[in-house]
Amino acid sequence: MACIEARGLRKAFGATIALDGVDLRVEEGRILGLIGPNGAGKTTALNAILGLTPYQGELRVLGRDPWTERDLLMRDVCFIADVAVLPRWVRVSQALDYVAGVHPRFNRAKAEGFLAKTDIRRASKVRELSKGMVTQLHLALIMAIDARLLVLDEPTLGLDILYRKQFYDSLLNDYFDHNRTIVVATHQVEEIEHVLTDVMFIDRGRIVFDRSMEEVESRYLEVMARPEQAAAARALKPMHERQAIGGSVLLFDAVDRQQLAAFGDVRTPSIVDLFVAVMGNQPGQAQGAAR
């Protein structure tokens, strides 16, 4: 069953096209990484999914129209934005009390468990917390809600590398199950690669790459070609080539591993390398920047 399904999704801000006829389908129980350069349309796509902006085309989230049925949809959806917005005057304990009072699916014990891994004191006010601590508090509140869909937009912005790792480990081990769906947009691709089941690249309002991680691992290969073998490797028409110490690194789509092994060491490319290759094959930049 599809958790999110869009057909011809379009959004314009004046003369700027933010989403340009997007078709996508996200199955339930998956963890999707939505990746794109600044201005590619990631935030606009998330806002449409969350019912925060009107759009043209067809969009269903958990079977509902997010623009006209947002009040019902948000009972099953949680969202973490790139900037945590919490009242500066509120105490941590009061924030816990408030969410417990307004959301029937909030698990206070789980939120307390997340906070126990931090240095946040329950008596502290938000204004007394560091930027990283505010983000930690926000994450603890949201991840303690039993939602069917969790949407994350740069969720660990402002956190140090240790807590970012703890967050993604907790997301995978303590939060995710096959009844929940997670969509995460981030620039820190290396940190989420190990948790993803699917990856989608967006560029200038269009989906330009949509694969499961199983497809990525079975279909795409990189070879570190020895200098004397580089020309022969290029004859197989790689989708991208970059220079590295010791030779050329060529990335191939659907080429036999044994054939490539004759040219050098073969490996599965990282999502970052695949992203660079796909983006490098896109047409030149359009006028205007999407949000």
pLDDT of residue 284: 58
pLDDT of residue 177: 82
Any residues with CB less than 8 A from the CB of 95 and at least 6 apart, and which? 86, 126, 137, 141
Domain ranges of the chain: 2-204, 215-280
| Number of Cβ atoms within 10 Å of the Cβ of 11 | 23
pLDDT confidence of residue 247: 80
pTM of the predicted protein model: 0.88
What is the predicted pLDDT for the residue at 138?
Answer: 87
Task: Report pLDDT for 291.
Answer: 38
* pLDDT tens figures, 178-203: 789 999 998 878 888 889 999 999 99
pLDDT of residue 83: 66
pLDDT of res. 161: 84
Q: For the domain 2-204, what is the CATH superfamily, name and number? A: P-loop containing nucleotide triphosphate hydrolases (3.40.50.300)
Per-residue pLDDT for the chain (291 aa), expressed as one digit of tens each? 899 999 999 999 999 999 999 999 999 999 999 999 888 999 999 999 999 999 999 999 999 999 999 999 988 999 987 766 788 999 999 999 999 998 889 999 999 998 998 899 999 999 999 888 888 898 899 889 999 999 999 888 777 888 788 888 888 887 888 789 999 998 878 888 889 999 999 999 999 999 999 999 999 999 999 889 999 999 999 999 998 887 899 999 999 999 999 999 999 999 999 999 999 877 654 333 333
Q: Are 122 and 92 in contact (CB under 8 A)?
A: yes
**Long-range pairs for 40-44 at CB < 8 Å and ≥24 separation?**
40/202, 40/203, 40/204, 40/205, 40/290, 41/11, 41/202, 41/204, 41/205, 41/206, 41/290, 41/291, 42/153, 42/185, 42/202, 43/153, 43/185, 43/291, 44/11, 44/18, 44/19, 44/205, 44/290, 44/291
pLDDT of residue 175: 81
